[in-house]
Chains A and B, each alone.
Chain A
Amino acid sequence: MEKVMTINRPPEDFAQFKQDFDDTYHIEVMMPTAPTGKTTPTQQIKNEWDAWHALKERLIACAGNVQFAQAPNGRGTEVRVSFPYSAPGGMVGSMLAKALDKSPEQWITEDLRHFKEMMEAGEIATIAGQPVGSK
Protein backbone atom coordinates (compact mmCIF):
# COMPACT_ATOMS: atom_id res chain seq x y z
CA MET A 1 0.00 0.00 0.00
CA GLU A 2 1.26 3.42 -0.92
CA LYS A 3 0.21 6.96 -0.10
CA VAL A 4 1.73 9.97 -1.75
CA MET A 5 1.31 13.69 -1.27
CA THR A 6 3.14 16.53 -2.94
CA ILE A 7 4.52 19.06 -0.49
CA ASN A 8 5.17 22.53 -1.84
CA ARG A 9 8.79 22.72 -0.68
CA PRO A 10 12.00 21.89 -2.60
CA PRO A 11 13.62 18.45 -2.17
CA GLU A 12 16.59 19.87 -0.27
CA ASP A 13 14.23 20.79 2.57
CA PHE A 14 13.65 17.06 3.11
CA ALA A 15 17.27 15.89 3.17
CA GLN A 16 17.46 15.96 6.96
CA PHE A 17 14.27 13.94 7.29
CA LYS A 18 15.52 11.34 4.83
CA GLN A 19 18.78 11.07 6.77
CA ASP A 20 16.88 10.73 10.01
CA PHE A 21 14.69 7.98 8.58
CA ASP A 22 17.65 6.05 7.19
CA ASP A 23 19.47 6.27 10.53
CA THR A 24 16.50 5.04 12.53
CA TYR A 25 15.56 2.41 10.00
CA HIS A 26 18.97 0.76 10.22
CA ILE A 27 19.23 0.89 13.97
CA GLU A 28 15.83 -0.44 14.89
CA VAL A 29 15.46 -4.14 14.19
CA MET A 30 12.49 -4.75 11.99
CA MET A 31 9.89 -6.16 14.33
CA PRO A 32 6.71 -5.02 12.71
CA THR A 33 3.82 -4.73 15.05
CA ALA A 34 0.39 -3.33 14.47
CA PRO A 35 0.61 0.43 14.38
CA THR A 36 -0.73 1.67 17.63
CA GLY A 37 -4.08 3.33 17.66
CA LYS A 38 -2.67 6.40 19.24
CA THR A 39 -2.76 9.36 16.94
CA THR A 40 -0.44 12.05 18.15
CA PRO A 41 -2.80 14.82 19.28
CA THR A 42 -2.41 17.66 16.82
CA GLN A 43 -1.94 20.13 19.68
CA GLN A 44 1.29 18.32 20.53
CA ILE A 45 2.69 18.81 17.04
CA LYS A 46 4.35 22.18 17.33
CA ASN A 47 6.79 22.13 14.46
CA GLU A 48 8.04 20.26 11.41
CA TRP A 49 10.13 17.82 13.43
CA ASP A 50 7.18 16.86 15.66
CA ALA A 51 5.09 16.15 12.57
CA TRP A 52 7.94 14.22 10.98
CA HIS A 53 8.50 12.10 14.11
CA ALA A 54 4.83 11.16 14.28
CA LEU A 55 4.94 9.97 10.67
CA LYS A 56 8.29 8.26 11.02
CA GLU A 57 7.38 6.37 14.16
CA ARG A 58 4.21 5.05 12.61
CA LEU A 59 6.08 3.93 9.52
CA ILE A 60 8.82 2.23 11.52
CA ALA A 61 6.20 0.45 13.62
CA CYS A 62 4.65 -1.15 10.57
CA ALA A 63 7.84 -1.76 8.59
CA GLY A 64 6.97 1.01 6.21
CA ASN A 65 9.19 3.17 4.10
CA VAL A 66 9.31 6.71 2.81
CA GLN A 67 10.78 8.21 -0.34
CA PHE A 68 11.23 11.78 -1.47
CA ALA A 69 11.22 12.73 -5.14
CA GLN A 70 11.31 16.02 -6.94
CA ALA A 71 7.97 16.97 -8.49
CA PRO A 72 8.07 18.28 -12.06
CA ASN A 73 8.95 21.88 -12.80
CA GLY A 74 9.51 23.05 -9.25
CA ARG A 75 6.17 21.89 -7.95
CA GLY A 76 7.63 20.69 -4.71
CA THR A 77 8.50 17.25 -3.43
CA GLU A 78 6.52 14.04 -3.77
CA VAL A 79 6.56 12.30 -0.41
CA ARG A 80 5.65 8.65 -0.95
CA VAL A 81 5.10 6.33 1.99
CA SER A 82 4.68 2.62 1.58
CA PHE A 83 3.64 0.03 4.12
CA PRO A 84 2.39 -3.57 4.22
CA TYR A 85 -1.16 -3.71 2.98
CA SER A 86 -2.66 -5.93 5.64
CA ALA A 87 -2.60 -4.66 9.15
CA PRO A 88 0.35 -6.27 10.92
CA GLY A 89 -1.03 -8.12 13.90
CA GLY A 90 -3.20 -10.30 11.70
CA MET A 91 -6.84 -10.73 12.35
CA VAL A 92 -6.68 -9.17 15.79
CA GLY A 93 -4.96 -6.16 14.37
CA SER A 94 -7.48 -5.62 11.64
CA MET A 95 -10.37 -6.20 14.04
CA LEU A 96 -8.84 -3.68 16.37
CA ALA A 97 -8.47 -1.25 13.50
CA LYS A 98 -12.10 -1.75 12.58
CA ALA A 99 -13.26 -1.37 16.17
CA LEU A 100 -11.40 1.90 16.40
CA ASP A 101 -12.90 2.87 13.08
CA LYS A 102 -9.48 3.64 11.72
CA SER A 103 -7.15 1.52 9.67
CA PRO A 104 -3.37 1.85 9.61
CA GLU A 105 -3.85 3.29 6.15
CA GLN A 106 -5.99 6.10 7.56
CA TRP A 107 -3.55 6.75 10.41
CA ILE A 108 -0.61 6.97 8.06
CA THR A 109 -2.54 9.21 5.68
CA GLU A 110 -3.33 11.55 8.57
CA ASP A 111 0.28 11.59 9.72
CA LEU A 112 1.41 12.36 6.18
CA ARG A 113 -1.19 15.10 5.85
CA HIS A 114 -0.11 16.64 9.17
CA PHE A 115 3.49 16.60 7.97
CA LYS A 116 2.46 18.36 4.76
CA GLU A 117 0.39 20.96 6.65
CA MET A 118 3.25 21.69 9.01
CA MET A 119 5.81 21.90 6.19
CA GLU A 120 3.65 24.18 4.06
CA ALA A 121 1.36 26.16 6.36
CA GLY A 122 3.30 25.98 9.63
CA GLU A 123 0.34 24.65 11.59
CA ILE A 124 -2.18 21.83 11.54
CA ALA A 125 -5.76 22.77 10.75
CA THR A 126 -8.01 22.08 13.71
CA ILE A 127 -11.36 22.89 15.23
CA ALA A 128 -10.70 21.08 18.51
CA GLY A 129 -11.65 23.48 21.29
CA GLN A 130 -13.87 25.81 19.30
CA PRO A 131 -17.31 26.81 20.62
CA VAL A 132 -20.39 24.75 19.79
CA GLY A 133 -24.02 24.93 20.89
CA SER A 134 -25.39 22.47 23.43
CA LYS A 135 -25.84 19.08 21.78
Chain B
Amino acid sequence: MKAICWYGAHDMRVENVPDPKILNPHDAIVKITLTAICGSDLHCYDGYIPGFEKGDIIGHEFMGEVVEVGKEVTKLKKGDRVVVPFPIACGKCFYCQKGLWSLCDNSNPNAAVAEMMYGYSAAGLYGYSHIYGGYAGGQAQYARVPFADVGPIKIPEELTDEQVLFLSDIFPTGYQAAESCDIQKGDIVAVWGCGPVGQFAIKSAYLLGAERVIAIDRIPERLNLAKEKGNADVINYEQADVVETLRAMTGGRGPDGCIDGVGLEAHGKTIDAMFDKVEQTLRMESDRPTALRQAIQACRKGGVLSIAGVYGGLIDKFNLGAAFAKGLIFRMGQTHVHNYLRPLLERIQHGEIDPSFIITHRMGLEEAPHGYEIFKNKQDNCIKVVLKP
Protein backbone atom coordinates (compact mmCIF):
# COMPACT_ATOMS: atom_id res chain seq x y z
CA MET B 1 0.00 0.00 0.00
CA LYS B 2 0.98 3.64 -0.19
CA ALA B 3 1.78 5.45 3.04
CA ILE B 4 3.26 8.76 4.16
CA CYS B 5 6.47 8.09 6.04
CA TRP B 6 8.61 10.32 8.23
CA TYR B 7 12.29 10.51 7.26
CA GLY B 8 13.43 13.55 9.21
CA ALA B 9 12.61 17.21 9.62
CA HIS B 10 10.76 18.46 6.54
CA ASP B 11 11.16 15.09 4.86
CA MET B 12 7.86 13.25 4.45
CA ARG B 13 7.80 10.68 1.66
CA VAL B 14 5.20 8.66 -0.13
CA GLU B 15 6.40 5.07 0.25
CA ASN B 16 5.24 1.66 -0.86
CA VAL B 17 5.01 -0.49 2.26
CA PRO B 18 3.43 -3.87 3.05
CA ASP B 19 -0.27 -3.87 3.97
CA PRO B 20 -0.95 -4.04 7.70
CA LYS B 21 -1.92 -7.37 9.27
CA ILE B 22 -3.96 -8.35 12.29
CA LEU B 23 -1.41 -8.69 15.12
CA ASN B 24 -3.63 -9.02 18.17
CA PRO B 25 -7.05 -10.61 18.73
CA HIS B 26 -8.85 -7.28 19.24
CA ASP B 27 -7.41 -5.66 16.06
CA ALA B 28 -9.26 -4.59 12.95
CA ILE B 29 -7.90 -3.49 9.58
CA VAL B 30 -9.48 -0.38 8.10
CA LYS B 31 -9.31 0.62 4.45
CA ILE B 32 -8.90 4.36 4.72
CA THR B 33 -11.31 6.53 2.76
CA LEU B 34 -10.27 9.91 4.16
CA THR B 35 -7.42 11.14 6.36
CA ALA B 36 -6.01 14.52 7.31
CA ILE B 37 -2.84 16.34 8.27
CA CYS B 38 -3.11 17.62 11.83
CA GLY B 39 -1.41 20.71 13.22
CA SER B 40 0.31 18.40 15.68
CA ASP B 41 1.78 16.48 12.71
CA LEU B 42 3.62 19.70 11.92
CA HIS B 43 5.54 19.37 15.20
CA CYS B 44 6.77 16.01 13.88
CA TYR B 45 7.38 17.50 10.44
CA ASP B 46 9.51 20.22 12.08
CA GLY B 47 11.39 17.62 14.11
CA TYR B 48 10.28 18.74 17.56
CA ILE B 49 8.67 15.48 18.65
CA PRO B 50 11.36 13.06 19.84
CA GLY B 51 11.17 9.33 19.22
CA PHE B 52 10.49 9.16 15.50
CA GLU B 53 12.34 6.60 13.40
CA LYS B 54 12.97 6.73 9.67
CA GLY B 55 10.15 5.08 7.78
CA ASP B 56 7.48 5.57 10.48
CA ILE B 57 4.01 5.97 8.98
CA ILE B 58 2.49 9.19 10.25
CA GLY B 59 -1.10 10.40 10.69
CA HIS B 60 -3.77 10.03 13.36
CA GLU B 61 -6.93 11.52 11.84
CA PHE B 62 -8.53 8.86 9.69
CA MET B 63 -11.67 6.95 8.85
CA GLY B 64 -12.66 4.19 6.52
CA GLU B 65 -14.18 0.81 6.00
CA VAL B 66 -13.48 -2.25 8.12
CA VAL B 67 -12.03 -4.97 5.89
CA GLU B 68 -10.89 -7.52 8.45
CA VAL B 69 -11.37 -8.15 12.17
CA GLY B 70 -9.40 -10.14 14.74
CA LYS B 71 -10.90 -13.20 16.36
CA GLU B 72 -12.04 -11.46 19.53
CA VAL B 73 -13.68 -8.45 17.89
CA THR B 74 -17.44 -8.62 18.42
CA LYS B 75 -18.89 -5.18 17.74
CA LEU B 76 -17.39 -4.45 14.31
CA LYS B 77 -17.66 -6.42 11.13
CA LYS B 78 -16.40 -6.29 7.60
CA GLY B 79 -18.02 -3.44 5.69
CA ASP B 80 -18.67 -1.16 8.69
CA ARG B 81 -17.84 2.48 8.06
CA VAL B 82 -15.99 3.95 11.04
CA VAL B 83 -14.11 6.96 12.36
CA VAL B 84 -11.12 6.00 14.51
CA PRO B 85 -10.21 8.07 17.61
CA PHE B 86 -6.51 8.94 17.73
CA PRO B 87 -5.72 7.59 21.23
CA ILE B 88 -5.60 3.80 21.48
CA ALA B 89 -7.44 2.62 24.58
CA CYS B 90 -8.06 -0.85 26.04
CA GLY B 91 -11.35 -0.01 27.71
CA LYS B 92 -10.57 -2.11 30.77
CA CYS B 93 -7.94 -0.33 32.86
CA PHE B 94 -8.57 2.15 35.69
CA TYR B 95 -8.09 5.12 33.35
CA CYS B 96 -10.35 3.92 30.54
CA GLN B 97 -13.04 3.10 33.06
CA LYS B 98 -12.83 6.63 34.44
CA GLY B 99 -13.23 8.05 30.93
CA LEU B 100 -9.56 9.10 30.79
CA TRP B 101 -9.04 7.21 27.54
CA SER B 102 -5.91 9.01 26.38
CA LEU B 103 -4.22 7.86 29.60
CA CYS B 104 -4.84 4.15 28.98
CA ASP B 105 -2.43 1.92 30.89
CA ASN B 106 -2.27 -0.90 28.36
CA SER B 107 -1.88 0.43 24.83
CA ASN B 108 1.71 1.66 24.71
CA PRO B 109 4.20 -1.06 23.73
CA ASN B 110 7.02 1.34 24.66
CA ALA B 111 5.61 2.31 28.03
CA ALA B 112 9.06 1.95 29.63
CA VAL B 113 10.45 4.76 27.46
CA ALA B 114 7.52 7.06 28.22
CA GLU B 115 7.93 6.30 31.93
CA MET B 116 11.56 7.37 31.77
CA MET B 117 10.57 10.68 30.18
CA TYR B 118 7.30 11.49 31.93
CA GLY B 119 7.15 9.31 35.04
CA TYR B 120 4.20 7.36 33.69
CA SER B 121 3.11 6.35 30.22
CA ALA B 122 -0.01 7.65 28.51
CA ALA B 123 -1.96 5.79 25.84
CA GLY B 124 -0.45 4.73 22.55
CA LEU B 125 -1.29 7.05 19.64
CA TYR B 126 -1.31 6.45 15.89
CA GLY B 127 1.67 7.81 14.03
CA TYR B 128 3.00 9.93 16.84
CA SER B 129 6.50 8.71 17.75
CA HIS B 130 7.78 5.67 19.59
CA ILE B 131 7.31 7.39 22.93
CA TYR B 132 3.59 7.11 22.24
CA GLY B 133 3.97 3.51 21.08
CA GLY B 134 5.28 3.79 17.54
CA TYR B 135 1.98 2.67 15.98
CA ALA B 136 1.79 3.00 12.20
CA GLY B 137 -0.43 5.96 11.40
CA GLY B 138 -3.40 6.71 9.22
CA GLN B 139 -1.92 8.67 6.32
CA ALA B 140 -1.98 5.48 4.31
CA GLN B 141 -4.35 3.28 2.36
CA TYR B 142 -4.89 0.87 5.26
CA ALA B 143 -4.36 0.94 9.01
CA ARG B 144 -4.35 -1.58 11.81
CA VAL B 145 -6.69 -0.52 14.60
CA PRO B 146 -6.05 -2.17 18.00
CA PHE B 147 -8.94 -2.57 20.51
CA ALA B 148 -11.38 -2.20 17.63
CA ASP B 149 -14.40 -2.78 19.87
CA VAL B 150 -13.42 0.13 22.11
CA GLY B 151 -12.45 3.02 19.84
CA PRO B 152 -14.04 3.24 16.39
CA ILE B 153 -17.54 4.66 16.00
CA LYS B 154 -19.87 3.53 13.21
CA ILE B 155 -21.08 6.28 10.93
CA PRO B 156 -24.59 6.49 9.46
CA GLU B 157 -24.77 6.43 5.69
CA GLU B 158 -26.31 9.87 5.27
CA LEU B 159 -23.23 11.68 6.56
CA THR B 160 -20.27 12.33 4.27
CA ASP B 161 -16.66 11.50 5.15
CA GLU B 162 -15.81 15.19 5.32
CA GLN B 163 -18.59 15.84 7.82
CA VAL B 164 -17.38 13.21 10.30
CA LEU B 165 -13.62 12.78 9.77
CA PHE B 166 -12.71 15.37 12.40
CA LEU B 167 -14.40 13.36 15.13
CA SER B 168 -11.08 11.48 15.12
CA ASP B 169 -9.26 14.36 16.82
CA ILE B 170 -9.65 18.07 16.27
CA PHE B 171 -13.39 18.48 16.88
CA PRO B 172 -13.29 16.59 20.20
CA THR B 173 -9.99 18.31 21.01
CA GLY B 174 -11.49 21.76 20.56
CA TYR B 175 -14.61 20.63 22.40
CA GLN B 176 -12.72 19.19 25.37
CA ALA B 177 -10.67 22.39 25.56
CA ALA B 178 -13.88 24.43 25.81
CA GLU B 179 -15.57 21.99 28.16
CA SER B 180 -12.54 22.19 30.46
CA CYS B 181 -13.26 25.92 30.86
CA ASP B 182 -16.40 24.98 32.80
CA ILE B 183 -18.30 27.73 30.97
CA GLN B 184 -20.90 29.59 33.05
CA LYS B 185 -23.55 32.05 31.90
CA GLY B 186 -21.91 35.33 30.89
CA ASP B 187 -18.44 33.83 30.49
CA ILE B 188 -16.01 35.18 27.92
CA VAL B 189 -13.57 32.66 26.50
CA ALA B 190 -10.32 33.59 24.76
CA VAL B 191 -8.75 31.20 22.28
CA TRP B 192 -5.09 31.44 21.31
CA GLY B 193 -4.52 30.04 17.82
CA CYS B 194 -7.08 29.97 15.01
CA GLY B 195 -5.89 26.78 13.39
CA PRO B 196 -8.32 23.87 13.15
CA VAL B 197 -8.33 23.11 16.90
CA GLY B 198 -8.83 26.79 17.71
CA GLN B 199 -11.73 26.98 15.24
CA PHE B 200 -13.43 24.01 16.90
CA ALA B 201 -12.71 25.43 20.36
CA ILE B 202 -14.48 28.66 19.31
CA LYS B 203 -17.52 26.78 17.97
CA SER B 204 -17.58 24.51 21.02
CA ALA B 205 -17.36 27.38 23.50
CA TYR B 206 -20.52 28.84 21.95
CA LEU B 207 -22.20 25.41 21.88
CA LEU B 208 -21.45 25.21 25.62
CA GLY B 209 -22.98 28.59 26.33
CA ALA B 210 -20.19 31.17 26.21
CA GLU B 211 -21.37 34.77 26.06
CA ARG B 212 -18.56 35.75 23.77
CA VAL B 213 -15.43 34.20 22.27
CA ILE B 214 -12.31 36.17 21.43
CA ALA B 215 -9.80 34.58 19.08
CA ILE B 216 -6.11 35.47 18.76
CA ASP B 217 -3.86 34.79 15.77
CA ARG B 218 -1.88 36.68 13.15
CA ILE B 219 -2.88 34.94 9.92
CA PRO B 220 -5.61 36.99 8.18
CA GLU B 221 -7.53 34.07 6.65
CA ARG B 222 -7.60 32.24 9.98
CA LEU B 223 -8.84 35.32 11.80
CA ASN B 224 -11.44 35.76 9.07
CA LEU B 225 -12.66 32.19 9.44
CA ALA B 226 -12.92 32.66 13.22
CA LYS B 227 -14.96 35.78 12.62
CA GLU B 228 -17.12 34.57 9.72
CA LYS B 229 -17.81 30.96 10.68
CA GLY B 230 -17.03 31.06 14.38
CA ASN B 231 -18.69 34.37 15.23
CA ALA B 232 -15.63 35.28 17.31
CA ASP B 233 -14.20 38.70 17.96
CA VAL B 234 -10.60 38.64 16.85
CA ILE B 235 -7.24 40.08 17.89
CA ASN B 236 -4.27 40.13 15.52
CA TYR B 237 -1.37 39.88 17.95
CA GLU B 238 0.96 41.55 15.48
CA GLN B 239 -1.15 44.66 15.60
CA ALA B 240 -2.27 44.84 19.22
CA ASP B 241 -1.12 44.20 22.77
CA VAL B 242 -3.09 41.04 23.46
CA VAL B 243 -3.29 41.26 27.26
CA GLU B 244 -4.36 44.91 27.24
CA THR B 245 -6.85 44.37 24.40
CA LEU B 246 -8.40 41.42 26.21
CA ARG B 247 -8.65 43.52 29.38
CA ALA B 248 -10.46 46.23 27.47
CA MET B 249 -12.77 43.73 25.76
CA THR B 250 -13.77 42.06 29.03
CA GLY B 251 -14.65 45.12 31.07
CA GLY B 252 -11.31 44.97 32.83
CA ARG B 253 -11.95 41.49 34.23
CA GLY B 254 -9.96 39.31 31.84
CA PRO B 255 -11.32 36.23 30.04
CA ASP B 256 -12.96 33.63 32.31
CA GLY B 257 -11.51 30.80 30.29
CA CYS B 258 -8.30 30.84 28.25
CA ILE B 259 -7.61 28.12 25.69
CA ASP B 260 -4.12 27.50 24.38
CA GLY B 261 -4.74 26.02 20.95
CA VAL B 262 -1.16 26.66 19.87
CA GLY B 263 1.32 24.48 21.74
CA LEU B 264 5.04 24.15 21.50
CA GLU B 265 5.80 26.12 18.33
CA ALA B 266 4.17 29.41 19.25
CA HIS B 267 5.10 32.61 17.50
CA GLY B 268 4.99 36.05 19.01
CA LYS B 269 6.08 39.64 18.83
CA THR B 270 7.14 40.05 22.43
CA ILE B 271 10.64 39.82 23.87
CA ASP B 272 9.96 36.46 25.49
CA ALA B 273 8.89 35.11 22.09
CA MET B 274 12.28 36.04 20.67
CA PHE B 275 14.05 34.39 23.61
CA ASP B 276 11.97 31.26 23.10
CA LYS B 277 12.98 31.10 19.44
CA VAL B 278 16.66 31.37 20.36
CA GLU B 279 16.46 28.94 23.26
CA GLN B 280 14.60 26.34 21.22
CA THR B 281 17.11 26.64 18.39
CA LEU B 282 19.96 26.17 20.87
CA ARG B 283 18.04 23.29 22.48
CA MET B 284 18.00 25.16 25.80
CA GLU B 285 14.28 24.49 25.91
CA SER B 286 12.32 22.05 23.79
CA ASP B 287 9.03 23.95 23.65
CA ARG B 288 8.17 27.60 22.97
CA PRO B 289 5.47 28.54 25.49
CA THR B 290 4.85 32.06 24.18
CA ALA B 291 1.07 31.71 23.84
CA LEU B 292 0.80 29.90 27.16
CA ARG B 293 2.61 32.68 29.04
CA GLN B 294 0.35 35.27 27.49
CA ALA B 295 -2.77 33.29 28.36
CA ILE B 296 -1.62 33.05 31.99
CA GLN B 297 -1.05 36.78 32.09
CA ALA B 298 -4.41 37.58 30.49
CA CYS B 299 -6.65 35.15 32.37
CA ARG B 300 -8.96 36.55 35.01
CA LYS B 301 -8.41 35.69 38.68
CA GLY B 302 -9.61 32.19 39.44
CA GLY B 303 -10.12 31.48 35.74
CA VAL B 304 -9.36 28.31 33.83
CA LEU B 305 -6.37 27.78 31.61
CA SER B 306 -7.15 24.97 29.20
CA ILE B 307 -4.22 23.64 27.19
CA ALA B 308 -5.11 21.79 24.00
CA GLY B 309 -1.95 22.60 22.02
CA VAL B 310 0.71 19.91 22.34
CA TYR B 311 3.76 20.28 24.58
CA GLY B 312 6.55 17.72 24.55
CA GLY B 313 9.30 18.58 26.97
CA LEU B 314 10.77 21.50 28.87
CA ILE B 315 9.96 25.17 28.88
CA ASP B 316 11.87 28.09 30.28
CA LYS B 317 10.76 31.21 32.15
CA PHE B 318 7.35 29.95 33.00
CA ASN B 319 5.28 32.59 34.80
CA LEU B 320 3.98 30.23 37.42
CA GLY B 321 3.97 33.09 39.92
CA ALA B 322 1.23 34.87 37.96
CA ALA B 323 -0.79 31.66 37.73
CA PHE B 324 -0.38 31.09 41.46
CA ALA B 325 -1.14 34.66 42.46
CA LYS B 326 -4.38 34.59 40.46
CA GLY B 327 -5.39 31.11 41.58
CA LEU B 328 -5.73 29.77 38.05
CA ILE B 329 -7.04 26.30 37.33
CA PHE B 330 -4.97 24.35 34.80
CA ARG B 331 -6.47 21.63 32.60
CA MET B 332 -4.53 19.91 29.85
CA GLY B 333 -3.64 16.74 28.04
CA GLN B 334 -4.36 14.61 25.02
CA THR B 335 -8.06 14.44 24.29
CA HIS B 336 -10.22 11.66 25.70
CA VAL B 337 -11.76 11.38 22.24
CA HIS B 338 -13.87 8.33 23.08
CA ASN B 339 -16.06 10.43 25.43
CA TYR B 340 -17.07 12.79 22.67
CA LEU B 341 -17.64 10.54 19.64
CA ARG B 342 -21.30 9.83 20.28
CA PRO B 343 -22.43 13.27 21.54
CA LEU B 344 -20.57 15.15 18.82
CA LEU B 345 -21.76 12.79 16.09
CA GLU B 346 -25.28 13.60 17.29
CA ARG B 347 -24.60 17.33 17.07
CA ILE B 348 -23.47 16.79 13.46
CA GLN B 349 -26.56 14.71 12.70
CA HIS B 350 -28.80 17.41 14.19
CA GLY B 351 -27.15 20.00 11.99
CA GLU B 352 -25.74 22.01 14.91
CA ILE B 353 -22.33 21.98 13.26
CA ASP B 354 -20.78 20.85 9.99
CA PRO B 355 -17.08 20.30 10.77
CA SER B 356 -16.11 20.32 7.09
CA PHE B 357 -16.10 24.14 7.17
CA ILE B 358 -12.39 24.18 7.99
CA ILE B 359 -11.23 22.19 4.94
CA THR B 360 -9.30 24.35 2.51
CA HIS B 361 -7.36 21.70 0.56
CA ARG B 362 -8.24 18.28 -0.79
CA MET B 363 -5.57 16.07 -2.35
CA GLY B 364 -4.41 12.52 -2.93
CA LEU B 365 -1.82 10.75 -0.74
CA GLU B 366 0.85 11.35 -3.39
CA GLU B 367 0.54 15.08 -2.86
CA ALA B 368 0.89 14.88 0.93
CA PRO B 369 4.49 16.19 1.02
CA HIS B 370 3.21 19.31 -0.75
CA GLY B 371 0.30 19.42 1.69
CA TYR B 372 2.71 19.47 4.61
CA GLU B 373 4.70 22.26 3.05
CA ILE B 374 1.78 24.61 2.43
CA PHE B 375 0.15 23.81 5.78
CA LYS B 376 3.42 24.46 7.60
CA ASN B 377 4.11 27.72 5.77
CA LYS B 378 0.46 28.83 5.70
CA GLN B 379 0.69 29.20 1.94
CA ASP B 380 -2.28 29.34 -0.39
CA ASN B 381 -4.54 30.22 2.58
CA CYS B 382 -4.09 26.68 3.87
CA ILE B 383 -5.97 25.86 7.09
CA LYS B 384 -6.77 22.16 6.76
CA VAL B 385 -5.63 19.50 4.31
CA VAL B 386 -7.55 16.27 3.81
CA LEU B 387 -6.07 13.39 1.85
CA LYS B 388 -8.04 10.84 -0.12
CA PRO B 389 -6.01 7.64 -0.43
Residues of A within 8 A of B (CB): 6, 8, 75-76, 106, 109-110, 113, 116-117, 120-135
Expressed in whole angstroms, the Cα–Cα distance for A68 and B79 within the complex equals 44
Q: Known contacts A8-B92, A120-B92, A122-B72; decide if A133 and B17 are in contact (CB<8 Å).
A: yes
Query: Which listed residue, B7, B26, B97, B108, touches A123 by the CB 8 Å rule?
Result: B26
Option from A76, A110, A134, A135 in Cβ contact (under 8 Å) with B94: A76
Q: B108 to A133, Cβ gap below 8 A?
A: no
CA–CA, A129 to B136, complex, Å? Answer: 10
The answer to whether B20 and A131 have CB atoms under 8 Å apart is: yes
In whole angstroms, how far apart are the Cα atoms of A113 and B115 in the complex?
12
Nearest CB on B from A89, distance (A): 22
The digit string for B289-302, where 1 denotes a CB below 8 A from any CB of A, is 00000000000000
A6-B108 Cα distance, complex, nearest whole Å = 16
* Beyond A6-B94, A133-B7, 13 extra complex contacts between A and B, CB < 8 Å: A8-B92, A8-B105, A106-B112, A109-B112, A121-B107, A123-B24, A125-B24, A127-B23, A127-B134, A128-B23, A131-B3, A131-B136, A133-B5
Residues B55 and A126 in contact, CB atoms below 8 Å apart: no
B149 CB, min distance to chain A CBs, angstroms: 11
Proximity bits, B66-92, A CB within 8 Å = 1, else 0: 000000100000000000000010111
Give the shortest distance, in Å, between B120 (CB) and chain A (any CB): 11
Are A8 and B17 in contact, CB atoms less than 8 angstroms apart? no
Nearest residue, chain B, Cβ from A125: B109
Interface residues, chain B, with chain A CB atoms under 8 Å away: 1, 3, 5, 7, 13, 15, 17-21, 23-26, 53-57, 72, 88, 90-94, 97, 105-109, 111-112, 124, 133-136, 140, 144, 146-147
A14 to B92, CA, bound (A): 17
CA distance A76 to B98 in the complex (A): 14
| B24 partner residues in chain A, CB cutoff 8 A | 123-126
The answer to whether A125 touches B107 (Cβ under 8 A) is yes
Chain A nearest CB from B295 CB (Å) reads 35
- Residues on A with beta carbons closer than 8 Å to the beta carbon of B13: 133
Cα A8 to Cα B91 in complex, Å, equals 11
Q: Which residues from chain B contact A128 at a C-beta distance below 8 Å?
A: 23
Neighbouring B residues of A129 by C-beta, 8 Å: 21, 23
Residues of A within 8 A of B135 (CB): 127, 130
Q: B92 near A131 (CB under 8 angstroms)?
A: no
Complex Cα distance A122/B88, Å? 15
| B25/A123 in contact, CB under 8 A | yes
- Flag if B15 contacts A133 (CB, 8 Å): yes
Asked whether A132 lies within 8 Å of B109 as measured between CB atoms, the reply is no
Q: Which of B54, B55, B106, B136 contacts A121 (CB 8 A)?
A: B106
On whether A135 and B54 interact (CB within 8 A), knowing A117-B106, A120-B105, A127-B135, the answer reads yes
How far, in Å, is B261 (CB) from chain A's closest CB?
30
Given A106-B112, A109-B112, A131-B57, check contact A121 B5 (CB 8 Å). Answer: no
How far apart are the CA atoms of A123 and B71 in the complex, in Å? Answer: 12
Q: What's the Cα separation between A110 and B109 when bound, in Å?
A: 10
B92–A132 touching, CB < 8 Å: no
* Nearest A residue to B104, CB-CB: A121
The answer to whether A133 and B55 have CB atoms under 8 Å apart is yes
**Is the CB–CB distance between A110 and B112 below 8 Å?**
yes
Distance in angstroms from A25 CB to nearest chain B CB is: 27
**Contact for B144 among A109, A121, A130, CB less than 8 A:** A130
With both beta carbons as reference points, the residue of chain A lying nearest to B140 in the complex is identified as A131
B56 to chain A, nearest CB (A): 7
Greatest chain B CB density within 10 A among A8, A121, A122, A124 is at A121
Give which listed residue, A116, A130, A133, A134, contacts B105 with CB less than 8 A: A116
